[in-house]
Structure 1
Amino acid sequence: MNLKPVKPEDGFAWITGAGKGLGRALTVRLVEAGWTVLASARTVSDLEALADDTRTFAGKLVPLPLDITNAAAIQVALDEALRDQPLALAVLNAGTHVATDLSNFKPETVKMLVDTNLLGTLNCLYAVLPRMRSQRRGQIAVVGSMAGFLGLPSASVYGMTKAGLINLCEALQPELAVEGVHLQAVNPGFVRTPLTDKNTFPMPFLMELDAAARAFERGLASRRFEIVFPMRLAVIMKLLRCLPYALSLRVTAQFLPGGTRDNG
């Protein structure tokens, strides 16, 4: 099926992890472009500040505070917000990262990351898919990471969850395309935020936040399955995945442990 990207006149957009970082920057760009955006995050004050910053834009921002680990709350909130409008676009961006080198490879850390990044995103999909399948129209962007391409030191659990999301999208895309739903996997590299400023390992091809948000928005306007940025890093990471382990592990060993990323 020839899937076309959705437009603001097709309905509302919903963005999770909209309070900070890349999710916030993308939300600003979509509201500026005329979208009505349901903006979700756990921190109400972040959403209030976002609403103030977009008040004069062409579109409209509707704060929708949510914890994506609460499946029932997601259903209730979307039912209320979408009573009179279809959901055209869902950007499932919320997630977190805690460095998990051997010193922090603990059940509680693993559970928190899996519950948020993987199961939390699935909670959002459970709420979105019935709506879009019944409409036979819609677009879903699931935010993974290039850390899901291959294992990186200190990102063992984060990378595992993101690899799971990439695999999930690859598996669902053919079925959803038949039903008119455009599913995309979004795999960013390193993006400069206050949290990535804390990282102590090398971050090749680090992108500025505005440039990353522009690349994200361009990807949403395309028919591509995968949205990646920066492209140079994506090419390198995918080539590394194809190398024998004797070579690829020598390269990934250069990523020293440390740092915390959060896109939600």
Structure 2
Amino acid sequence: MFAPLNRPIEHWAGQRVWLIGASSGIGAALAKHALAAGASVILSARRQPQLALVAQQHPKAMVLPFDVLDTAAWQSSYTEIVSRMGGIDLVVFCAADYRPERTWEVNPSTAAQTLQINLGSVYTGLATILPDLIARGSGGIGLIASVAGYMGLPNASVYGPSKAAMINLAEILYGDLHPKGLNVYLINPGFVKTHLTAKNEFTMPALQTPEQAASAIWQGISAGKFEIHFPRRFTQMLKFLQLLPYRCRFALLSKFVKTP
């Protein structure tokens, strides 16, 4: 029996969890699990009114709104957390942007924004928190990527590459940080019902609720898994497609895509 790649977390009481992108969707649902487990939770997002609605359900959480694209706001927000809580034990990067679009529909300015939110902001966050975590020799980092990063899927012309980069980054982080005592979690959800996936005009197989997604993530982190992917009946199929030669994979994918 193989041991988990990360250290399991059996006791969450007193653990300080920072959820980036917690105003809705998976991030908001994760807050419920973290607080129920006894963790101290910091909720951050750009949309302050929506964040306030989440906080109404979780009055014990610390609310810290800021824009992930504001580099200076990362440092000031983290400084406030250190001042009030002494630091963090786990950060989960949930913030994301998505537009369903084919390659000929991509707008350079919106593509740059999506890449900056989905990927660039993660680097800013890492630069902010890693020095303290490395110095302490403990803590965890969770990156919410996507099964869209497994391979080139239609309608994910910018979103898919950003998530593929996050998968690659999580693997690099694990190699760099695990020897220093840190946990790294790669989270690859399938379709989850959020305001982002509501933009899709196609039927989404194995669609899950944010609560179902958050439950799978929380169980995976607690168990010390490196890759947390779900729902498995869907993600295992995509993992199988990854193994096929391009000729076969492209042929199978084309059956589900209508090209104008």
Count, aligned residues: 254
After superposition, the CA RMSD in angstroms is 1.9
TM superposition score normalised by structure 2: 0.91
Q: Which amino acid aligns with 2:48?
A: V
Q: SS at the partner of 2:91?
A: strand
**TM-score, normalising length from structure 1?**
0.90
Summarize deviations over 1:56-99 as a string: whole Å, max 9, x none. xxxx2111111111222101111112224231110111111012
SS of the residue 2:126 aligns to? helix
Higher mean alpha-carbon deviation, 170-179 vs 97-106, is at 97-106
Deviation at 1:210, TM superposition (A): 1.9
Deviation at residue 4 of structure 1 after TM alignment: 3.6
Name the structure 2 match of 1:185. 186
Q: Which string of whole-angstrom CA distances, capped at 9 and with x for unpartnered residues, describes residues 108-149 of structure 1?
A: 122111111010111111112112111101011111000000
Mapped to 2, the partners of 1:111 and 1:6 lie a distance apart of 40
Cα deviation digits, residues 224-259 of structure 1 (max 9, x gap): 1101111111111111111111211122234548xx
Greater length-normalized contact order (CA 8 Å, ≥ 6 residues apart) = 1
1:175 CA displacement: 2.0
1:72 is matched with which residue? 72
Whether 1:233 aligns to 2:237 is no
The answer as to whether partners of 1:15 and 1:23 remain within 8 angstroms in 2 is yes
Q: Which residues of structure 2 form unaligned runs of 5+?
A: none
Match of 1:19 among 18, 23, 44: 23
| Mapped partners of 1:197, 1:19: distance in 2 | 16
Unpaired runs of 5+ residues, structure 1, are 258-264
Give the alignment partner of residue 48 of structure 2, picking from 44, 55, 67: 44
Aligned equivalents of 1:131 and 1:92: distance in 2?
17
Seq. identity, %: 34
Within-5 A mapping of 1:220-259: 220-256=221-257
3-state SS of 1:82 partner: helix
Deviation at 1:156, TM superposition (A): 1.6
Equivalent runs, 1:1-264 vs 2, <5 Å: 3-5=7-9, 7-55=11-59, 60-83=60-83, 84-256=85-257
Aligned residue type for 2:241: L
Asked if 2 retains the 8 angstrom alpha-carbon contact of 1:5 and 1:139, the reply is no
**Alpha-carbon distance in 2 for matches of 1:108, 1:53:** 36
Q: Contact 1:16–1:91 (CA<8 Å) still a contact in 2?
A: yes
